[in-house]
């Protein structure tokens, strides 16, 4: 029996457009999916999913989850007829849209298999396998979620000429954020079609938006490195307005963003694929973080509080 882990994540900018070569700023969060692999009698694999969830998430993602597990096994050339296994999934990461739940599952499964069967996979190998495991969930996976889940930290990530490039971002100190779930489970695979349609209907407008978001991403990177959180927050909120105009938000997410800003957050936006899932609010300082988190909890929203950044 062996265990593997994968971090959750949040994306501060560039969420939906990585495949358009727009750079994203992504951070792991200190909540993990833990997968246990154990040998069993029989043939094939069985699954026990014990993750805490946004109601209905696991059922809606069940078919994609099965496809993902099969793809991971295929990429790793793992024969479950010869080595039947039980896969048990749990951990502290809430299973819901927008926090990298699928990527964390892929990373943790790849690590558990490598450990249990002495496959000797490097961290680069784990990341590659997890990326492949993301395809059944996303249609075409950019690699941003699994990279954050595998390596951890705050990253600047970009797909350029088909290559996945990333570097760690160091900030003067860590800072607090609040993630709040809308309760809406989005179909991530359909988002690609939604974006492609916008690209086809108004190519010049789409190109302008991608150029603007790219500039915002680089500006945010500089602000993070300088510790200028007020500017980081301003860019987050400006980016959210673009996402709203593109139909990538949801009325509940818009309400949560507005509410966070009214209570003092420096910035707030959709995080993840959009049209459901989570929003993220920049809330530096424990007092501000707790104020906003508790107000969301009182309204019945599931929240995650954490710190990101630092060296």
pLDDT of amino acid 189: 60
Domain total in the chain: 2
* pTM check: above 0.85: yes
Q: For the chain, what is the largest distance between any 2 Cα atoms, rounded to a whole number of angstroms?
A: 58
CATH number of the domain that residue 180 is part of: 3.30.70.890
Residues 159 and 47 in one domain: yes
Last-in-domain residue among 143, 168, 193: 168
Residues 86 and 45 in one domain: yes
Residues 156 and 231 in one domain: no
Q: Is the pLDDT of residue 199 over 90?
A: no
Residues 163 and 25 in one domain: yes
Last-in-domain residue among 105, 133, 168: 168
pLDDT of amino acid 75: 98
**Distance of alpha carbon 40 from alpha carbon 20, whole angstroms:** 44
pLDDT of amino acid 55: 85
Residues 160 and 240 in one domain: no
271 or 37, which is more confident? 37
65 or 188, which is more confident? 65
CATH number of the domain that residue 138 is part of: 3.30.230.10
Residues 152 and 214 in one domain: no
Q: Return the percentage of the chain with pLDDT > 70, whole number.
A: 98
Q: Is the pLDDT of residue 186 over 70?
A: no
Residues 164 and 304 in one domain: no
pLDDT one-digit tens code per residue, 145-154? 999 999 999 9
pLDDT (average), residues 211-224: 97
pLDDT of amino acid 65: 97
Q: Domain containing 266: what range?
A: 174-309
Residues 14 and 108 in one domain: yes
Last-in-domain residue among 168, 187, 205: 168
127 or 181, which is more confident? 127
Q: Return the percentage of the chain with pLDDT > 90, whole number.
A: 78
- What's the mean pLDDT when you consider all of the chain? 93
Residues 138 and 199 in one domain: no
Residues 228 and 116 in one domain: no
pLDDT (average), residues 198-218: 93
Pick from 148-152, 191-195, 286-290: least confident: 191-195
Residues 160 and 182 in one domain: no
Residues 270 and 184 in one domain: yes
pLDDT one-digit tens code per residue, 45-59? 999 999 998 888 899
């Amino acid at each position: 029996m062996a265990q593997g882990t994968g971090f959750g994540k949040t994306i501060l900018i560039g969420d939906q457009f990585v495949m358009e070569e727009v750079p994203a700023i992504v951070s792991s969060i200190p909540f993990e999916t833990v997968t246990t692999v154990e040998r069993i009698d029989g043939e094939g694999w069985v699954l026990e999913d014990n993750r805490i969830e946004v109601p209905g998430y696991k059922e809606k993602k069940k078919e994609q989850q099965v496809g993902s597990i099969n793809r991971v096994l295929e990429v790793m050339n793992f024969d479950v007829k010869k080595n039947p296994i039980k896969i048990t999934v749990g951990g502290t990461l809430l299973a819901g849209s927008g926090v990298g739940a699928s990527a964390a599952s892929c990373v943790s499964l790849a690590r558990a298999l490598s450990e249990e069967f002495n496959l000797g996979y490097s961290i680069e190998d784990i990341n590659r396998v997890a990326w492949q495991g993301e395809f059944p969930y996303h249609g075409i996976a950019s690699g941003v979620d699994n990279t954050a889940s595998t390596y951890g930290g705050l990253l600047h990530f970009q797909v350029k000429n088909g290559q996945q490039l990333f570097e760690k971002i160091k900030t003067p100190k860590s800072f607090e954020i609040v993630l709040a779930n809308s309760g809406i489970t989005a179909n991530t695979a359909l988002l690609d079609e939604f974006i492609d349609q916008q690209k086809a209907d108004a190519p010049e407008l789409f190109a302008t938006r991608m150029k603007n978001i790219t500039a915002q991403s680089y500006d945010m990177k500089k602000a993070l490195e300088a510790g200028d959180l007020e500017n980081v927050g301003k860019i987050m909120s400006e980016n959210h307005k673009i996402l709203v105009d593109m139909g990538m938000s949801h009325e509940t997410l818009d309400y949560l963003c507005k509410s966070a800003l009214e209570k003092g957050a420096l910035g707030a936006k959709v995080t993840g694929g959009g049209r459901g899932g989570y929003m993220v609010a920049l809330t530096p300082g424990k007092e501000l973080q707790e104020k906003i988190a508790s107000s969301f909890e009182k309204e019945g929203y599931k929240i995650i509080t954490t710190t990101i950044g630092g060296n």
